[in-house]
């Protein structure tokens, strides 16, 4: 059963395929799908073979790789409670404008500091690629990371964002401890 065709940037198609087709095979196996990759059109067609939920996750894995994540991090989406959120910066500025470049620079931070802090304190993974910022993590991690990124986009000082994240990191820690006993 045909599920969907996803456009992937041309420079990311090779990553979806992987060395000797390894990544493609793993996505097909774990997602119970058949991937048909059109390198000329930079499009990946997904045919559902088994479980609909796994097929949907396979679609998210392909999207995550297309948005700049390495296959290892993208495959984390197959784990329980993991999700992908893609924030389009086109909502905040015109495509290709200097404002988008400025937002991306603020999210990454000097030497990758801001991005690393967001990842560390929320337990999520970020990818800044093209006109998007993507997040992989569990529900709480993604929620807090997205909120921090929106604060940065809206011009909040980094110090304010870090304080917010440190407070949320403590909450996350306690909620995860509760969940492990619950």
Calculate the average pLDDT of the chain.
Answer: 94
Identify whether the C-beta of residue 129 lies closer than 8 Å to the C-beta of residue 67. yes
User: Where are the domains positioned within the chain?
Assistant: 2-78, 82-181
CATH topology for the 82-181 domain: Ribosomal Protein S8; Chain: A, domain 1 (3.30.1370)
Secondary structure (3-state) at 3:
strand
State pTM to two decimals.
Answer: 0.92
Q: In the chain, what percentage of residues exceed pLDDT 90?
A: 86
* CA neighbor of 8 nearest in space, from 57, 60, 52, 50: 60
Q: In the chain, what percentage of residues exceed pLDDT 70?
A: 99
Q: Helices 113-122 and 98-108: crossing angle, nearest 10°? A: 60
Q: Where do the H-state alpha helices sit in 1-153?
A: 10-17, 22-31, 52-66, 71-74, 98-108, 113-122, 139-153
Cα-Cα end-to-end distance for the chain: 38
Q: What is the mean pLDDT of residues 123-132?
A: 96
- Could you report the per-residue pLDDT of 28-68, keeping only the tens digit for each? 999 999 999 999 999 999 999 999 999 999 999 999 999 99
Nearby residues of 14 by Cβ (< 8 Å), 6 or more positions away? none
Query: 2-78 and 82-181 share one CATH topology?
Result: yes
CATH topology for the 2-78 domain: Ribosomal Protein S8; Chain: A, domain 1 (3.30.1370)
Token pair in block for residue 169? 């990191």
């Amino acid at each position: 059963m045909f599920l969907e065709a996803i456009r992937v940037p041309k420079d990311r198609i090779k990553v979806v395929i992987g060395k000797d087709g390894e990544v493609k095979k793993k996505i097909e196996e774990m997602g119970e799908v058949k991937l048909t990759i059109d390198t000329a059109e930079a499009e990946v067609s997904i045919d559902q073979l088994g479980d609909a939920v796994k097929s949907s996750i396979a679609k998210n894995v392909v999207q995550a790789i297309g948005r700049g994540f390495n296959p290892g991090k993208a495959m984390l989406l197959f784990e329980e409670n993991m999700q992908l959120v893609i924030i389009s910066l086109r909502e905040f500025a015109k495509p290709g404008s200097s404002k988008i470049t400025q937002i991306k620079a603020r999210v990454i931070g000097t030497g990758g500091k801001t991005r690393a802090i967001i990842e560390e304190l929320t337990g999520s993974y970020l990818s800044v690629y093209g006109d998007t910022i993507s997040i992989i993590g569990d529900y709480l991690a993604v929620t807090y990371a997205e909120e921090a990124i929106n604060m940065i986009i809206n011009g909040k000082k980094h110090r304010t964002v870090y304080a917010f994240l440190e407070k949320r990191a403590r909450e996350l820690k306690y909620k995860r401890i509760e969940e492990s006993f619950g």
